[in-house]
Amino acid sequence: MSDTILVINAGSSSIKFQLFAIKPGDQLERRLRGQIDGIGTRPRLRATDTKGECVVNQSWPINEVGELHQALDKLVVFLREYVGRLPVAIGHRVVHGGPEFVDPTPINSWVIDQLQRFIPLAPLHQPNNLAPIRIVLERQPHLLQVACFDTAFHRHHSEIVDRYAIPDHFYREGVRRYGFHGLSYEYIASRLRDVAPAIANSRIVVAHLGSGASMCALHAGKSIESSMGFTALDGLPMGTRPGQIDAGVVLYLLKEQAMSVTDIEHFLYHDCGLKGLSGVSNDVRDLLSSSDPRAKMALDYFAYRIALFGGMLATALGGLDAFVFTAGIGENAPPVRQAVADRMSCFGIELSKTANAKNDLCISSEGSPVKCYVVPTDEELMIARHTLQVLQKHEMPEERRA
């Protein structure tokens, strides 16, 4: 029986997971994908195998799975029954690695302490990413856990790209533009070498459009610029986050609206973006099916900002050879892609309506100077690959004092 690697992406009330078998030649084969959701409300475990067939669909009373550690216990029991033994390593998505963490990192208590410092920079994600890591470290201290960072792929930007126009000491303290969704962009860069080798090393803008949304400029497979900055609030409008916003708006909320810092944080992370614009929903599927004019306005705004940032990133690249859509909206919303392409026609993007409607790999017309693609992302596979690389090195860091 093959050894396995478990990949975990934990949220506030859910644990998404995938299980990969390590095959000869260090190949990874996906065996399971699933999640435990409704933790503390309606807990349920669902998972499918490689054929997409359901292997488990189980619910529990709230008192049995009311907290994360109980959900992890249920996951362990399921894996023991289904696979026969526990994985040899666990890879975790960690949203913020700060300035220090630029590579997949074996986890110990010192590493957790360092990552704890970045919770204020990613309050929606970082606490949930770290919670299962702590639990596993307490219960299985010798099991290799690897943190894979959404910021790492962007950590080789030039200083000009990373800086804000504020005094130098802030930059030295870590107040800088980090960029996010790096695991997704890293996977897309590697995938293009297989599905579109002719453009893989050229000047590419990738739009990761989901509930969280950002864009990245790729050149020769490396990130050179990103729409996101110090936190995951910046850049494009998202499901519930505003994207780029004048800092003066925050000052206005503080001074004129007498909102507290806590209130403003909740407002920016939960009440803005497509939800705030439309007053209807933060889900693009709901907006596309709605007859409410505010829903149309929110979608038009979304496409406009994507095109605007596309032009900025094309400037960073010194030109544009290809444009890639990925993530939930990017992979499954032809009207959004068409609206973006229409606004970027001045750059030479022209879509094939037939190919776009079918979510084909290449959705640009034959005569389009700039090629346009839809490439499904796979952050979990990227995490599994990084975890396997660390496992092969088998270099656990020495415990250090913060």
Q: How confident is the model at residue 1, as a pLDDT?
A: 60
Query: Which of 26, 49, 113, 150 is labelled catalytic?
Result: 150
Taking the C-alpha atoms of residue 168 and residue 184, their distance in angstroms, rounded to an integer, is 31
Q: What is the mean pLDDT of the chain?
A: 92
pTM, two decimals, is 0.91
**pLDDT confidence tier of residue 402, bands split at 50, 70 and 90:** very low
For each of the domains in the chain, give its residue range(s) and CATH number, in order of start: 4-156+380-393 (3.30.420.40), 198-374 (3.30.420.40)
CA dihedral 102, 104, 109, 110 (to 10 degrees): -20
- Amino acid present at 199: I
pLDDT of 396 > 90? The answer is no
Closest CA to 90 of 13, 9, 14: 9
Contact status, residue 323 vs residue 205, Cβ threshold 8 Å: yes
Q: How confident is the model at residue 183, as a pLDDT?
A: 95
Render pLDDT for 42-93 as a digit per residue (tens, 0 to 9): 889 999 988 889 988 988 888 888 888 888 888 888 888 888 888 999 999 9
Least confident among 36-40, 46-50, 91-95, 99-103: 36-40
Render pLDDT for 146-164 as a digit per residue (tens, 0 to 9): 999 999 999 999 999 999 9
Decide if 150 is catalytic. Answer: yes
pLDDT of 397 > 80? The answer is no
pLDDT of 382 > 90? The answer is yes
Render pLDDT for 226-248 as a digit per residue (tens, 0 to 9): 999 999 999 999 999 999 999 99
Taking the C-alpha atoms of residue 396 and residue 240, their distance in angstroms, rounded to an integer, is 38
pLDDT of 398 > 50? The answer is no
pLDDT of 36 > 60? The answer is yes
Percentage of the residues of the chain whose pLDDT score is greater than 70: 97
